[in-house]
Amino acid sequence: MRPTVEEQLLGTCRILEQVVAPCVGDAYARTMLDGLVANLRMLTAALPAVPGFLQDDNRATAALLAQLQPAVAPDLAAAMDTALQSAEPQATHLAALEARNRELRELLSQALGGTELTPALREAVLAHMASRAARSPMRYVSTAPSPPKAS
């Protein structure tokens, strides 16, 4: 398909940088524009990795939910069981992968809200969340100047 998604995103960046940016005189608006362009470039680079990331995260989250299931309230355990019985979507179906990810993460959130988890299980959840954050293909790109350090 031409233009590709990457070509369209990069073309948008080019227009913003070469046509719009020279017309933006306000410093705050320019910082915001630079941030939008940086975000579009990050999305361009990250987009190919998103389906694989979601598949891996769904598998890891499902495994964690199976570990947590015996320690949560019966109604939540039943909801987890239903979710864990569902088949993982195909890698080519991004919307389905995202929906599955939301479902699993919501169940994880509910499990964390309960009082039934042992410290070891909470530690497993924290390790899972840290690993997920480290593997995420989409990372915030700041273009705003850092505030001055207090003296």
Question: pLDDT tens across 64-121, in order?
Answer: 999 999 999 999 999 999 999 999 998 889 999 999 999 999 999 999 887 778 899 9
Q: Are residues 41 and 89 in the same domain?
A: no
pLDDT digits (tens, 9 = 90+) for 43-54: 999 999 999 999
Q: Are residues 26 and 69 in the same domain?
A: no
How far from each other are the two terminal CA atoms of the chain, in whole angstroms?
Answer: 55
Residue 83, domain extent:
50-135
Residues 77, 120: contact at Cβ < 8 Å?
Answer: no
The alpha carbons of the chain give a radius of gyration, in whole angstroms, of 21
| pTM, to two decimals | 0.79
Q: Are residues 77 and 130 in the same domain?
A: yes
Closest to 54 (Cα-Cα) out of 81, 85, 9, 88: 88
DSSP state of 26: -
